[in-house]
Structure formats: structure tokens, C-alpha cells
Amino acid sequence: MSARAPSRSADKGAILRFVRYLAAGSGRRFTIALVMLVMSGLTEGISILLVVPLLSLAGKGAEAGADLPLPGWVPGELSISLGMALAGLVGLIALQGLFSRRKNIYLADLLFDLLNRLRLELFAAIGALRWDALVRRRPSDLHHLLTADVERVYTAAMAVMMLLQTGILLAIYLVVAWIIAPVMMLTAGGLGLIILALLAPLRARATRFGRERTTNKRDQYRTVSEYLGGLKTARIHGAEGAYRARLAANLDKVHAEAVGYMRLTSLGMILSQVVSALAVAVLVYAGIRWLGMGLPELVAFLVLLMRIAPRFTTMQTNLQQLLGEVTVFGDVQRFLAECAAEAEPPLLESAAPPPVLTQAIRCDAVRYAYTGGDGRPALEHLDCIIPAGAITALIGPSGSGKSTAADLLCGLLTPQGGTIHIDGHALTPESARAWRRQIAYVPQDHFLLPGTVAENLRLSRSQASEAELWRALEGAGAAEFVRALSDGLDTQLGENGSRLSGGQRQRIALARALVMEPQLLVLDEATSALDWESQAAFARSIAALRGKVTVLVIAHRLSMVAAADHVIALNKGRVVEVGRFAELARGAGPVGQLVAAERSAVPTPPSEPAVQA
């Protein structure tokens, strides 16, 4: 007993917090919705009261009158004719229909507005996370949160409104029952509470089912996301069976949980129906034998009982659904709290303008270590200079710290030691966002929208003119092939640029970066998936940017490194070699080893930039 009490208390607390969230988020619209629920219930309750005079007038003339039941505290009597009763009944039913329609539309608008605001709030919270906090989270979990979890919050919100509607209707029915026969009303209400008490274990199981459902659904998303993301590799390695087995095990678990929960729920429904039927039989018998109720009152009360009993069952169903779904609201709130705690400083309107890069980016004793792992810093005592207007290549083996260094230079990560200066201005967490607006980034796995060339180029600068688009295409060496496309800038590229070759897609990605007119252009292994000819052509386009924009190239291909003005080589998080490419290529360090390795592996093609060894 003591173990259950805290659980029920926690459930009540979760529901109350969720209702407060709905009320606070909706403002006066929540109150208006409640008024609509009350008005809809009142019209239905009064229409049931009219059954008594209608039955009393049965067999009498149209001009005859009958008394309308009134509470004992209301003085006098209210006589009503057959025509008035019928007209009132038709009018009330029509009014109820109008109230019900308006109420349903209003609730749908209210709840969808809530759903959209919550999804946008989550979207913004993810976007505001510090980069180190964001990369620790699984993309599949974030996708599940923004889609399935938010939809479940909507379901929980709908369950709250339906629970309120059921409670209001039930209260009105009980008031009408008290007007007709107070003793019978007390008995009916007591039996309803007994039904809810008997079904309490179902509500506790609904909460556990909701938590299990969240865990299992996220596992499903992860498995499917991993499978689709590595479909080509899975197909080649014949790993489809392993992924299928993982998904099948998860689906079997979900299946077993859902069937078990349905068994318990259906048992509760049977219990509720049997108790309700027994209550109706007992109350009708008591009304006839002991209370001496007349036929009109008895029929009206029977109509009420047939409506009251299912309402208790409906209340139980709504509570089960709410308890099963409200658990995910707690997850969403915890996630938002974590995002708030791990958010980077906002970009304030009053903040100083971002530094203008005219001299150099300088790293002084920069250190950074990721949480977890072996504790070894990804970068240790990083000292280097990236001259403005020049092309700098950052090379090194996997795990040497190249990507970490790029993330630090882009303001995505904050140094845990040392400083980064742009023309003498220290890069801080407060200025990082403003600095990033001056940076363009072309990743290894670029993405293109399934729209036109122009739509892709305007992704970050929606107001860019057509002349600016062509200028960026010229800078990326893409203008010639774009002019040759069927519709030029208005050519549809297909899903992720499927209508273009790999080299053409990469040039569109570069042009999109140049549309931003950045101070710093970062190319992160941007040519690793291209053939040697495309790499060489891409390298020539980058070389043409010398003096126009500062370029940082993270690369391991000779064509890109050879185009650089100077090279910074990293190994195990430290700078091991710095200098001009032509000088370093003659040595025995990392650059010299790169030149020797590529020359021995593949003969240098005619279009490859010449290497002065």
C-alpha cells in the first residue's frame, strides 16, 4: 500500500502540472473552452428534463399542461404544454448541436496551436544548445522527440479536454438526477465512484505502459534510422538480417506489452459494464418498489442512468489515456530544462558587431577535451595563425584534432584553455553566434534541398539577388554547367541534387557558401568523395578565391593541400608541422609523407597541381 501511494501521488502531480501548462499556455482561450463545454452539457441536461412533461402529456390533448421538474429550493411550479415541450426539445437539441460543433472546432484549433508552439519551442531549444551538448545526443532521439513525442502530448491534451467534458456532463447529469430523485442520484453517484475505485489498478498500469512505450518507440526509431542511414553498407555487407532481427525483437516487445495492456483494459471494461448494468437494474427496482416513482420520472431517470453509467467508463478511459501519454510531457519538460541549462548565450541586439577579419585568426595555447572517453584532450596547447585572405590547409591523421580545431575556430565549441583571437578580439561564448554569421561551411556530406538551384543558393540569404547568385556560381566554377541546365537557376535538382553529378553538387554547395559573402570559408573534407579530376577542378576554384576570402581547408588529399598558401599539420592534438606547402613537401614530415604516399599510390594526373619537391 505504501509503495503505491507515492506512485498515485506522482501521477496526480504530473496531471496537475500538465493541466496548469495547458491553462497557462492557452490563456483565456482555455476558459472559453470550459464555458463551451458547460453550455453544451447544460443544453443536453435540460433536454432530458423535458422528457418528464412529455411523458406526462402522453395521451392528453395538445392544450393540456404538465409540470416541469424543479429543484426543491425553487418556489412554485412551472407548467408546460405539449407544443412548448416539443418546441423546447427541438430547440435545445439544435442548440446543443451548434454548441457541440463550435466547441469541437474551437478545441481542435486550441490544441493544434498548443502542439505547434510546443514543437517550435523544442526546435528552438535544440538550435540554441551548445554544440558539445548537441553532438552528445542521438539524432534519432531528437527526431522522435519532435515528431512522435509531441504528437503524444497532443493526445494527452485531448484526453484532458475530453476528461473535463465528461466531468462537466456527469456533474450536470447528476444535478438533473437529483432534481428528479435525490436518493437515486446519490446511489448512482456512489456506484460510479465504486467503479472508478475498482479500476484504479488499470490507471497505474497505464502509467507504466506509457513509459515503456516511450522507451520502445525510441529504440525503434534508432534501429530504423541507423538502417536507413547505412543502407548501402548494410546491403553490401549482408547485414539486413541483423537489423531486421533487432527491429523484430523490439516489435515483439511492443506487441507483448500492448496485448497485455489490452487484456487488462478489456477486463476493466467488462467489469465496468457489468457493474453499470447491475446498478441500473437495482435502481429501477428500487424506484418502482420502494420510492413509488411515476412512469414519467422513472423513464427520465432511466434515460439519465443510461447516460451516467457510460460517462464513468469514459472517464476511466480518458484517465488511462492521459496517464499513458502524460509521461512523455515530463520527458519533454526535462529536455527543455536541460536545453536551457546547456544553451549558448543568446545573440543580443545590443551586442557588439562581430569582428572583421582583416589580419589573422590566432590560437594561443588552446586546449579542448570532450567529456567521457579516455580523458585525453582532443587538442592540447594549440598555437597557430590563419592569415586573412590566404588559404590554410589543416591536415593530420584521424583523431588528430582537425575537426575539433575547426569547430573551435567556427565558435561551435569554447576553448577550455587558451584563447582564440580574430584580429586581436577574443572569441567568447557571447560573441560566438555573431562570429558564426560571418562563416560559410562546406561539409564532406553536403545536403541540397529538393528544389531549384536558386532555392538552394538562397538557403542562408533569402534576399540575395540573381546577380549575386551568378557571382557566387562564377566563384565556385559552377556558372557554366548551371547555364547549360534546362531551366538555369530554376532547374529542379531532385532529392539531394540527384539530377547532378557529385562534382556538380559540391560546386553548388560551394556557391551556396559564397552567396553568404563570408569572412571565413571552412571546407571540411569537401572533396573526399570526388574523383581526382573533380578534386583538381574544385581545388582550382578554391585557389581562385585567394585574397577574396579567408579559406580553411581540412583535407587529406594532395590536390587540396597543394592549393594552400601554408599548411598546419596536427597529430594527437598538437601542432607538429607548420609552413608553406612547397617547403614542407620536400621534408620528411607529415606533408612530405602525404606527397610520397599519393605519388606512390596513384600517378599524378596531368591536371594535378605541380608539386615542387
CB-CB contact of 496 with 448 (8 Å): yes
Amino acid at 546: R
pLDDT at 121: 93
Unique residue bearing C-alpha cell 540575395: 464
| pLDDT at residue 336 is higher than 90 | yes
- For 428, the 3-state DSSP assignment is coil
Residue % of the chain over a pLDDT of 70: 78
Domain 360-601 classification at class level:
alpha beta
Cell of 131: 554544440
HSE, CB side, 13 Å, CA atoms: give it for residue 446: 30
Residue range 234-239: mean pLDDT, rounded: 71
HSE, CB side, 13 Å, CA atoms: give it for residue 398: 0
More confident residue, 174 or 68: 174
pLDDT at 66: 54
Read off the pLDDT of residues 345-354 as tens digits, 9 standing for 90 and up. 877 665 667 7
CB-CB contact of 323 with 207 (8 Å): yes
pTM of the predicted model, to two decimals? 0.72
CATH 1.20.1560.10 corresponds to the domain 4-341: yes
Measured CA to CA, the distance from residue 58 to residue 295 in angstroms comes to 11
Are 4-341 and 360-601 equal in CATH topology?
no
Alpha helices in 556-605 (DSSP H): 558-562, 581-584, 590-601
| pLDDT at residue 7 is higher than 60 | no
Amino acid at 420: I
Residue closest to 123 by CA, chosen among 140, 141, 145? 145
pLDDT at 520: 93
More confident residue, 222 or 60: 222
Measured CA to CA, the distance from residue 47 to residue 293 in angstroms comes to 20
Q: How many helical (H) and strand (E) elements, i.e. helices and strands, does the chain have? A: 22, 12
More confident residue, 86 or 138: 138
Read off the pLDDT of residues 170-223 as tens digits, 9 standing for 90 and up. 787 777 777 766 766 677 677 777 777 777 777 667 667 777 777 777 787 778
- For 548, the 3-state DSSP assignment is coil
φ/ψ (deg, to 5) at 98: -65, -45
Mean of pLDDT over the chain = 79
Domain locations along the chain: 4-341, 360-601
Measured CA to CA, the distance from residue 524 to residue 355 in angstroms comes to 23
| pLDDT at residue 82 is higher than 70 | no
Residue closest to 187 by CA, chosen among 280, 277, 274, 273? 280
Measured CA to CA, the distance from residue 584 to residue 596 in angstroms comes to 12
pLDDT at 182: 73
Q: What is the DSSP letter of 510?
A: H
E strand intervals along 52-105 = 65-68, 78-81
Residue range 455-479: mean pLDDT, rounded: 88
Q: Which of 200-209, 336-345, 428-437, 550-559 has the highest mean pLDDT?
A: 336-345
Read off the pLDDT of residues 272-311 as tens digits, 9 standing for 90 and up. 677 767 777 777 777 677 666 666 666 666 766 767 777 7
Read off the pLDDT of residues 377-388 as tens digits, 9 standing for 90 and up. 889 888 999 999
Distances (CA, A) of 363 to 379, 419, 424, 435, 458: 11, 6, 11, 15, 32
Residue closest to 455 by CA, chosen among 505, 503, 492? 492
CB-CB contact of 409 with 386 (8 Å): yes
